Amino acid sequence: MNPLVRFASLLITIALCTALPAQTENYPVPKEGSWTARDFKFHSGEVMPETTQPRNMSRLLTYFSIATSNGNINLYNAAPNAAQGDAFLAKRIATPFRGDANDVLYQWESSADYDPSAALERVQATVLAINAADDERNPPELGMMERAMKRVKNGRYLQISQSADTRGHGTTGMAKFYRKELAELLEQAPRRR
């Protein structure tokens, strides 16, 4: 199967698997084998007891990461054919999950209804908002960041151009792309006394 078709199928599967459960009003108890989340309180008020970590957490996070944090050019360069794509995926999935699934659930749950847009005009701090042209989670073609940053009094928006070195959403964790702009911001930002 063509690697691009395989990747597109994977993206669609992930989108369906993550979007459909989010549509429900009260999340069901997340179970996989003997695992349920530890002392995690959902928006419904339901609290989950502690047991063990899920067996397939590494697989889930690998699929999510590949779909939302790598950049298309980087993914293609890493696996330009089906055999290399399978090897790339197998290596990532084989990496043991060393975190806590509760932390992952907390991150997803806490961001589900987060929307700071109502208070943007009140922001007084100097802000440098950074996004990448190949960001899969915050696609710049939607224009949301540009519109939002116009409302921030001391705000500036930097969009990093897509390249073989960018990593989609993960690009914002790579300071080499915005070191100069960050240094300028820190030099020019007002100091509190």
Least confident residue range of 28-42, 147-161, 175-189: 28-42
Residue 127 has pLDDT above 90, yes or no: yes
Question: Residue 54 in contact with residue 101, Cβ under 8 Å?
Answer: yes
pLDDT of residue 23: 40
- What is the rounded average pLDDT of the residues 117-121? 93
The DSSP code for 47 is E
pLDDT in tens, 57-83: 888 888 888 888 888 888 888 889 999
Residue 12 has pLDDT above 80, yes or no: no
Q: What angle do CA 43, 49, 51 make, to 5 degrees?
A: 135
Question: Residue 32 in contact with residue 56, Cβ under 8 Å?
Answer: yes
| Separation of alpha carbons 119 and 169, rounded Å | 24
pLDDT of residue 176: 96
CB burial of 40-56 (b: ≥16 within 10 Å; e: otherwise) equals bebeeeeebeeeebbee
pLDDT in tens, 130-171: 999 999 888 999 999 999 999 999 999 999 999 999 999 999
- What is the rounded average pLDDT of the residues 39-55? 63
Choose between 31 and 146: higher pLDDT.
Answer: 146
